[in-house]
């Protein structure tokens, strides 16, 4: 599970730079203060601490299995890392900006805790393959968390759809009343959208589930490491086949951001409908006080702010995708420091997309539908015109284009009289088409219109009930 729990950091301002002991003996003076400021990443990459420790433990165990370090050193490293993990989770660990990133902070703390043995952990490993491994583990955890979150949203939508399999409402095209549908059918459309989002999650997760660990800086290592062991220990399907690709690829993060952006589109569309439906002009739904906000000046207002924020945050997630695409687009192989910029867009999207999915799930379960208002709206604006045209085709054997033309004329007549189509007399209809019979009125009621849409995927209540049963089997498992 992705965890963004905050941990202690060092001083608010970046401390005066010191020579970084992790860089080796070549450097005798500290970097410029501005270089230290732009170079430091611990302020955001510290959230990789679980993944970093998990990867380091797997690496240490492999080193001892391969007789590269002693069992005693391996045990000291594993025990020390486990203790550091407990400290961080308990909020008893201070991250130091002068140590640059999460990896150096943990390694430095390990040295303070167990001494010389800590220096053996980085044998046959580089920060390049280390961070690539940590980041893959983080994104994989994020994929799993969102698969579960979207399933919860689907469950909520299905629950509400079951309650409203026969609740009539207008279906829209161009935001104009088009044909009557049911609210259950409308909600199930989003179940399918989020189902495709989950398919993207699972597909991308499978593709990215390879281990970079052991690729070292870029060329592999001369030590007799066992990459299959570390891959298996970390739940990967296997090691990545090319060391250059292993440390330099970030397409797994791009796929995550692309999935998130598409999901954000779906969330935003549902949010937009909730904004519209809860307005006075529509009046289809009402949110409880728990999911409504007021106005500082207009006491009558009940604003759907949560839905608006879900809609608004979608743009932020689109920007995160474009940010990483722009960062990666012209980088030569292998690792480049530009890639430090890969994490913040992903972290931001993880945090904001999760809030949006969870908020939408709660809103779906919260709203109350005004069935009478929705049914009234479904019968307006000549929403049954297509049913009349279909009757002319089916009963009078007219070509559809001719039926369409006749129906349009009848709509014009009804509009001129200020009546609905079903309120026209048979005589009025026969002026336009003499062959029309009185049984035409059987297809012009809103409920009959909805019940007639029995083709696969249609809005007929029986169809919706079958779709709900199928969705439970497909998605809620």
How far, CA to CA in Å, does 322 sit from each of 142, 200, 346?
A: 19, 19, 11
How far, CA to CA in Å, does 438 sit from each of 23, 96, 413, 426?
A: 91, 84, 18, 6
**Prior bond of 191 cis (ω within 30°):** no
Two tokens, residue 37: 């400021």
User: Can you tell me the distance from the alpha carbon of 15 to that of 24, in angstroms, rounded to the nearest whole number?
Assistant: 21
Active site residue 295: yes
**91 touches 263 (CB < 8 A):** no
Give me the helices (H) in 115-182, please.
127-163
User: Can you tell me the distance from the alpha carbon of 287 to that of 278, in angstroms, rounded to the nearest whole number?
Assistant: 7
Write the secondary structure of 238-280 as one string of H (helix), E (strand) and C (coil): CECCCHHHHHHCCHHHHHHHHHHHHHHHHHHHHHHHHHHHCCC
Closest CA to 52 of 98, 84, 9: 84
CB contact set of 202 (below 8 Å; sequence gap of 6+): 143, 147
Which of the following is catalytic: 4, 28, 174, 290? 174
Which of the following is catalytic: 82, 295, 415, 425? 295
**466 touches 474 (CB < 8 A):** no
Active site residues: 174, 295
């Amino acid at each position: 599970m992705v965890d963004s729990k905050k941990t202690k950091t060092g001083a608010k301002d970046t401390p005066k730079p010191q020579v970084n002991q992790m860089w080796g003996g070549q450097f005798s003076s500290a970097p410029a203060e501005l270089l230290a400021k732009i170079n430091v990443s611990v302020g955001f990459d510290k959230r990789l601490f679980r993944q970093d420790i998990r990867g380091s433990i797997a690496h240490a165990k492999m080193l001892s299995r391969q007789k590269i370090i002693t069992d005693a050193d391996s045990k000291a490293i594993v025990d020390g890392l486990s203790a550091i993990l407990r400290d961080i989770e308990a909020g008893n660990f201070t991250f130091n900006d002068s140590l640059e990133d999460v990896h150096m902070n943990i390694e430095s703390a390990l040295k303070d805790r167990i001494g010389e043995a800590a220096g053996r952990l980085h044998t046959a490993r580089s920060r390049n393959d280390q961070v690539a491994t940590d980041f893959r583990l983080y994104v994989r955890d994020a994929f799993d968390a969102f698969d579960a979150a979207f399933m919860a949203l689907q469950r909520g939508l299905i629950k509400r759809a079951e309650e409203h399999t026969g609740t009539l409402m207008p279906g829209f095209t161009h935001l104009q009343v088009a044909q009557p549908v049911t609210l259950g059918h409308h909600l199930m459309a989003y179940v399918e959208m989020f189902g495709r989002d989950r398919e993207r999650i699972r597909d991308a997760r499978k593709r990215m589930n390879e281990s970079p660990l052991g690729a070292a800086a870029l060329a592999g290592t001369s030590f007799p490491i066992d990459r299959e062991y570390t891959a298996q220990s970390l739940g990967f399907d296997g090691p990545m086949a090319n060391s250059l690709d292993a440390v330099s690829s970030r397409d797994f993060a791009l796929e995550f951001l692309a999935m998130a952006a598409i999901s954000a589109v779906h969330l935003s569309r549902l949010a937009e409908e909730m904004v519209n439906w809860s307005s006075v002009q529509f009046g289809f739904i009402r949110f409880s006080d728990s999911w409504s906000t007021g106005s500082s000046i207009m006491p009558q207002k009940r604003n759907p702010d949560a839905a608006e924020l879900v809609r608004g945050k979608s743009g932020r997630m689109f920007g995160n995708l474009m940010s990483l695409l722009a960062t990666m687009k012209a980088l030569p192989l292998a690792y480049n420091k530009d890639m430090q910029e890969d994490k913040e867009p992903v972290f931001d999207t993880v945090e904001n997309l999760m809030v949006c999915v969870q908020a939408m799930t709660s809103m779906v379960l919260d709203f109350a539908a005004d069935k009478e208002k929705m049914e009234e709206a479904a019968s307006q604006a000549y929403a049954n015109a297509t049913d009349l045209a279909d009757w002319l085709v089916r009963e009078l054997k007219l070509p559809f284009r001719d039926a369409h033309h006749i129906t349009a004329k009848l709509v014009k007549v009804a509009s001129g009289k200020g009546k609905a189509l079903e309120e026209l007399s048979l005589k009025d209809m026969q002026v336009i088409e003499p062959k029309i019979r009185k049984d035409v009125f059987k297809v012009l009621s809103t409920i009959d219109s909805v019940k007639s849409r029995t083709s696969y995927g249609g809005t007929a209540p029986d169809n919706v009930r079958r779709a709900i049963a199928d969705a439970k089997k497909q998605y809620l498992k």
